[in-house]
Structure 1
Amino acid sequence: MQIEITKQSEKDFRFLLSRLSHEIRNPVTLINSELQLMASSHPELCSYRQWDSLMDNLEYVKELLKELSDFSHAQTVTLVPVNPAEFLTTVLSCQKNTLDYLGIRLEIHVEHTSSPVFLDRIKMRQVIFNLIKNSCEAIDQPGGKIIVNLTPADSGICICIKDNGCGMTHKQTENIFHPFITYKPEGTGLGLAVTAEIISAHHGQIRVSSTPGQGSAFYIYLPTSPE
């Protein structure tokens, strides 16, 4: 009985979060449009230092609302059979130009598997993008590198995304998948929480190994069966 109450409370919380982000998004969009109109009519506004600060804060609110929406819908997935090697290679190819621009080397090591994996293509693409973005933000020195491995695992596959960035302490790794906890100056604290929720909806697991000053590795375990 207690489990049912917990599940219902979580469902109610997600619904409230979705409604809240939706209701706030409308006036924020309106404010953004009005500011753009003001800038068109009075270009001198853009030269004020306060204008840049205002627009930066507005962008932060928009990003926060987007991630709130992503979090509230993270458990809703449509699973279809996918060739994991082809899927991962395609997704990572979209990131290569960005990583080249940032001076970060991408290494991909893919082992082909005999069985398909049941994925929500859009949500799992978001997971990979979130983890690549997280690695990019952790790399703040020349010679940055991200290594992505796909290997068979017990009754499924393992995707490992490893970087040589700043790394994290043990205490930080214990909390990074919790919502609204971030160790970045401008982070929302929702990116990795959304990632963990999506993987949970795929009946999978995510783990992290990290050493300060050496980098982090995220391990995604996904079953070949949708159940």
Structure 2
Amino acid sequence: MCNDTTVSKLKNDFHYTLSKFSHELRNPLTLINSGLQMIASAHPEVKEYEHWDDVMDNLDYVKELLDELSAFNNAGHVKRENIDTCSYLRTILSSIKPTLDYLEITLETDIPDSLPSMALDRIRVRQMLLNLLKNAWEAVPIPGGKISFSVIPENSGIRIDIRDNGCGISKEQQATIFQPFFTTKESGTGLGLAVSKQIAQAHSGDITLESAPGQGTVFHIFLG
């Protein structure tokens, strides 16, 4: 059985390898992207090739995957600062409201004015919440989707519930949904929820969920 020191070393080795792997891939990827742009600039007719868009889409996907790997590798490193929790959360929701309105998805919010100020990493927590909200709006019917975002004080922190009326998640999927690279989406990287859970845990919290097929899903986010 591995002791805490061994587990910590394995985690550090894994993150180092992942960081080195991502870095080594970015350089040739940048050269490939630049080369393709030069070709398209010198020979515009190449864009008429029937598979040109597929090539560029695949290149964008690899770049997105590397960005997600970087986010996963750094999700546990947070820089916390005291913030006005109410104002901060309302600003995040305001930023996605136009998108949800366009998709005809109803957003219901319940953020009390009495929430305590908290020490959070502004960038990481925003990333986590947007990941979970995006996961919700991709699961709900369009139009007719509904997402609720509610917050309550809990112990020395807060609990955020993000609930949707989407397709739901089976018990089998729930068992692995937070594992890296697990996804049910054709174009997903499978890192969004893994990153989100790491961010919550780095804030002395966690993420759990309740769901059933055809009955929607609620994610409980605890931040301490």
TM-score by length of 2: 0.94
Q: Secondary structure at the match of 1:141?
A: coil
Asked if the contact 1:160/1:220 (under 8 Å) is kept, the reply is: yes
1:56 corresponding residue in structure 2: 57
1:72 corresponding residue in structure 2: 73
Q: Secondary structure at the match of 1:106?
A: strand
Q: How does 1:6-21 map to 2 (within 5 A)?
A: 6-21=7-22
Q: How does 1:116-127 map to 2 (within 5 A)?
A: 116-127=117-128
1:75 positional shift: 0.8
1:205 corresponding residue in structure 2: 206
Asked if the contact 1:85/1:150 (under 8 Å) is kept, the reply is: no
Give every structure 1 segment of 4 or more consecutive aligned residues whose post-TM-superposition deviation is greater than 3 Å.
none
Asked if the contact 1:111/1:151 (under 8 Å) is kept, the reply is: yes
Q: How does 1:138-157 map to 2 (within 5 A)?
A: 138-157=139-158
Unpaired runs of at least 5, structure 1: none
Asked if the contact 1:162/1:217 (under 8 Å) is kept, the reply is: yes
Q: How does 1:153-168 map to 2 (within 5 A)?
A: 153-168=154-169
Q: How does 1:62-141 map to 2 (within 5 A)?
A: 62-141=63-142
Amino acid at match of 2:176: N
1:187 corresponding residue in structure 2: 188
Q: Secondary structure at the match of 2:99?
A: helix
1:114 positional shift: 4.9
Identity %: 49
Aligned partners of 2:209, 2:220: CA distance in 1, in Å? Answer: 6
Distance 1:83 1:187, change over 3 A: same
- Single out whichever of 119-128 and 132-141 deviates more from structure 2: 132-141
Amino acid at match of 1:60: Y
Unpaired runs of at least 5, structure 2: none
1:85 positional shift: 1.3
Asked if the contact 2:112/2:151 (under 8 Å) is kept, the reply is: yes
Amino acid at match of 1:174: A
Asked if the contact 1:111/1:152 (under 8 Å) is kept, the reply is: no
Q: Secondary structure at the match of 2:138?
A: helix
Amino acid at match of 1:61: V
Aligned partners of 2:102, 2:33: CA distance in 1, in Å? Answer: 29
Asked if the contact 2:85/2:115 (under 8 Å) is kept, the reply is: no
Q: Secondary structure at the match of 2:200?
A: helix
1:95-140 CA-partner distances (Å, limit 9, x unpaired): 1112222222211111233522221011001001111111122124
Asked if the contact 2:115/2:153 (under 8 Å) is kept, the reply is: no
